[in-house]
Structure 1
């Protein structure tokens, strides 16, 4: 089998020769380097490579080229080799265009010219490209088929579960002729939707999350009965704890009830996370963190609902909803928070049928040409507004307060100000949602009590933060809002919490049960940012080691 190909295209012959030379020097033994002088020539080369059946691992394209710029070229190249990783070569003056390309054609990186020394500026980027490509290669992607109704809440939940777990799927609306044929072949009918058909032909009707996870190859059952560390929750804090726990030799298992990433995983673009100056989508960050944890040996269990926690001697035991249990020396709680329910008449009935909590990126194509409303004034709402502005005719952010400045980062407010089809309505709440089969209208109310009814098919809600701690017993001390108290916050007038059995004060991130640590948004007084959550996850592992040494 021939070597996979690294393709570079640049209309400047000197630059083209230079990048090809540097690539051959580092990757020549394992990859074949092909260069082209224009987008058209590069597409011809890709077509020939496709006919020969060879693989393309990565494409490096110059942004400024006559007749066809780098973005236009990469859009067409993706049709031929969708799994090839992509980077844009650009001058400093074109960095805005490069950042835009990250969103338009899912560019993985951009490189500033010149890239000397290549050991510092070129090779680390190409290393990341080829490593990502090797995870998938050019193998055909096995697709799961989902047949459902656009305005069916269960259908939306299936699509959202698959998307957030990075499972490729193809959606078929029940009204399409092909959907009717698939239902007939599956021996099903429209009353049984959603129907899921796996690549091997298995059929699931109205499946649960655990059934879907098992069917598409996600791990749901632990490989062992006892671990050094159980991490409950797969958001940034949980992923951080899993990476550091597994990398430091702890037998680590991460348990997530839905999909890794948490609220951050639903973010369309995180731009203030250290080390990603061009921003990174929550899905990309989550995927990299999950693969990193698994590379170090951490297990990841999906679609497992944890309903209880208790101490049994030196073991810490979590209980699953199906009655099974899992034990470890220590536990890190990183269950994050959920968006609060919008208290508006008719909202509950239309959830999943036009009313969505979180960004619900699977709905983006359906918003094309529509007027979309977003409730909330924090970063997650702002990031969603930027994302949906690329699809919707208009996006209106509804906030209860007098401005966004109290709750949203300054960079994001400035970004929203530059987007013409994004609008902000202050002192405004949603009083009622209307619709029969799906959302059709909203009744809005301002601070003077004046009401207005507007037409819309999509409302995305990003309000408040409710901690996921209802399953914890009374032994875990929480504050008045349900967030878990840790460390010094557990001491009342210098006294340790009731039931504390050790002759020391709780460690900084330790809960009222020794050996149970807390990280991220679920912790009382935590900073609600991705970076701090990851940091607390790493810090929790350090404290786990200290706890294990002191027992």
Structure 2
């Protein structure tokens, strides 16, 4: 049967991607920009150039196209009067993914990224239409895959899958080519892929990277923001999962200066969820990536500064300087200064004590189930280990692609660990088999996973099954390494204790809700002791912590003013 080609986002939502603004809307935009002229044939922007913000056309025409790293050009749209250039990357001035050239003499209004953010907030109804267009354009670029980086290598190889996950989770366009199925890819493979090389990456500027790390690709694509940040932020948020993004949205919308840092991507573990169905307001469900992507754009709209990927290696919880600042050290040597910090680092995936586990990670052992993994599991048998909501979501999702999904759980059933709606879904899915009282005991294979064995905890009987894909959802451990030198109070499992649960002396400082035992340092989401470990709970804590931050900052300002007043009084007395 011939495969039916799915319509593109431009086919289904073209009018929303490329709207034409009327006279009144043009006047509203013009208040935030500056007048520009372009000659016929002049470049408005080239792929890789620093983001220009939004360009609104008053007269003339501009043609937009995308050019991949192999030099192939694909037309996107021809804008006339009332049309505008820009996508979500322009909210923060990220490098452009498109080429734009003036086809005629052009008069335009250029709105810089800071002014664009101000426009989206000040003009709410217009801002909604612009934001929707920006998001859909990024979706279109990702869907086409022609701009950004080109990955040459086997689709099922661990390096290719790792990098595709990294770029996909960060919302960056890319394409993957098999070295023996594309003439351009074959020519480059013949030139650069010597024995042992598994992947090439062609950067937008044409540079060729051989078996690169995620960080090397991020730098060549301009994803890494290397600007120094000497300013003093009101809030530094470490971790861009649901809790961190929520804190960023609410803090920035209330006028606080916010910096968000994450070592890999926005969305955290929730970003890998195929479908979240029990989050308020989404009765038909939403993928974790879509939910996190909307929050990521929303935080930037309100002015939050995003530094992703950027790894925070240490936080000094001693106060420094006249501003009583906290200092956070980044792996690249930069230092960030902030009046308060929110630790939203979540938890890292728990790994069972099995020989060869590390060898098979990314080669058949997975800790999330995204569309990338689903495609390579098509019509195969897969095993899922775990009985929580993440395991349930993965099982239901993979059942739509795999021939059979086997769930291994240590306990007698799912009722104590999984939401009822997921249990019902699993029971109603014919190709999901639930096996209670089981534990994983052995992994086998050469360069990739080839077989899995598990043991019945009741009678010790073992079963071995040849398969290529094992998904692990057995919980997580707190990610608290960056505050190891701070002396924050932790519970027995290593999660950060906050609020009244802190064992502070009665005469000592009394922490605010969600505040740790160190004044001005807060914890939200999975890393916090007592959190419910749900997306909704993490988002709620991210919103709730902002009130405590305001109270801390107000108290700090009052104390600083009193000290200044006392110092002035002392000088007058002398």
Which TM-score applies when normalising by structure 2? 0.71
RMSD value, Cα: 3.3
Shift of the alpha carbon at 1:28? 9.7
Which residue of the partner structure matches residue 457 of structure 1?
Answer: 468
- Conserved 8 A contact 2:155-2:176: no
CA distance in 2, matches of 1:5, 1:288: 19
1:546 equivalenced with 2:558 (yes/no): no
- Alpha-carbon distance in structure 1 between the residues aligned to 2:77 and 2:249: 37
- Which secondary structure does the structure 2 equivalent of 1:269 belong to? coil
Describe the shift of the 1:479–1:7 C-alpha distance in structure 2 as closer, same or farther (beyond 3 A).
closer
| Residue of structure 2 in register with 1:91 after alignment | none
Q: How does 1:203-222 map to 2 (within 5 A)?
A: 203-222=208-227
C-alpha change, 1:315 and 1:265, in structure 2 (3 Å) is: same
Q: Secondary structure at the residue paired with 1:471?
A: helix
Q: CA deviation at 1:206?
A: 2.9
1:53 shift after superposition: 6.6
Aligned position for 1:189: 194
User: Residue 126 and residue 346 in structure 1: after superposition, are their counterparts in 2 closer, same or farther (change >3 A)?
Assistant: same
**In structure 1, C-alpha distance between the alignment counterparts of 2:241 and 2:496, rounded to whole Å:** 16
How far apart are residue 477 of structure 1 and its match?
Answer: 1.6
Name the counterpart of 2:389: 379
Q: In terms of mean alpha carbon deviation, does 253-262 or 209-218 score higher?
A: 209-218
SS in 2 for 1:403: coil
1:267-346 counterparts in 2 under 5 A?
A: 267-310=273-316, 311-313=318-320, 314-346=324-356
Alignment of structure 1 residues 238-253 onto 2, 5 Å: 238-253=244-259
Question: Is 1:306–1:319's contact at 8 Å kept on the other side of the alignment?
Answer: yes
CA-CA distance at 1:147 after TM superposition: 2.5
**Structure 1 length as normaliser, TM-score?**
0.74
Query: 414-423 or 433-442, which moves further after superposition?
Result: 414-423
Partner of 2:477: 466
2:266 aligned residue: 260
Aligned counterparts, 1:338-377, within 5 A: 338-377=348-387
Residue 202 in 1 paired to residue 213 in 2? no
Q: Which residue of 1 is the match for residue 35 of structure 2?
A: none
Query: Structure 2: where are the runs of 5+ without partners?
Result: 1-8, 24-73, 80-125, 557-574
1:74 matched residue in structure 2 = none
Residue 339 of structure 1: how far off its partner (Å): 1.4
Name which of 455, 469, 479 aligns with 2:491.
Answer: 479
| Cα deviation 1:43-80 (Å, max 9, x = unaligned) | xxxxxxx999779xxxxxxxxxxxxxxxxxxxxxxxxx
Q: CA deviation at 1:321?
A: 2.0
Moved more, 207-216 or 391-400: 207-216
Secondary structure, counterpart of 2:425 in structure 1:
helix
CA shift, 1:531, in A, is 1.0
**Following TM superposition, by how much is the alpha carbon of 1:190 offset from its aligned partner in structure 2, in angstroms?**
4.7
Q: CA separation of 1:548/1:125 partners in 2, compared to 1, >3 Å: closer, same or farther?
A: closer
Q: Structure 1 residues 544 and 51 mapped into 2: Cα distance closer, same or farther (>3 Å)?
A: closer
- Give the distance between the partners of 2:497 and 2:348, measured in 1 at CA: 18
Q: CA offset at residue 6 of structure 1?
A: 9.4
Counterpart in the other structure of 1:491: 503
Work out the CA distance in 2 between the residues paired with 1:162 and 1:172: 15
- CA separation in 1, counterparts of 2:301 and 2:327? 26
How far apart are residue 208 of structure 1 and its match? 2.7
Which one of 424, 429, 438 corresponds to residue 428 of structure 1? 438
Matched, 1:536 2:574: no
Compute the displacement of 1:495 (Å).
4.1
Paired residues in the alignment total: 443
Per the TM alignment, residue 543 of structure 1 is displaced from its structure 2 partner at its CA by 1.1
**Bigger shift: 275-284 or 242-251?**
242-251
From the superposition, tell whether residues 149 and 126 of structure 1 become closer, same or farther in structure 2 (CA, over 3 Å): same
Matched ranges for 1:37-186 at <5 A:
130=133, 132-133=135-136, 141-149=146-154, 152-173=157-178, 176=181, 178=183, 179-184=185-190
CA contact (8 A) 1:229 1:251 kept: yes
Decide whether aligned partners of structure 1 residues 417 and 6 sit closer, same or farther in structure 2, where only a CA change above 3 A counts.
same
- The equivalent position to 1:445 in structure 2, one of 448, 452, 455, is 455
Structure 1: distance between partners of 2:514 and 2:21: 49
* Contact residue 163 and residue 362 of structure 1 kept, 8 A: no
Gaps of 5+ in 1: 9-19, 31-49, 56-122, 497-502
Query: Matched residues in 2 for 1:174 and 1:423: separation?
Result: 38
How far apart, CA to CA, are the structure 1 residues paired with 2:464 and 2:76? Answer: 59
What SS does structure 2 have at the residue aligned with 1:242?
A: helix
CA shift in 2, pair 1:395/1:407, >3 Å? same
Range with bigger deviation, 139-148 or 471-480? 139-148
- Contact 2:193/2:199 (CA < 8 Å) preserved in 1? no
* Closer, same or farther: CA 339–430 of 1 in aligned 2, 3 Å: same
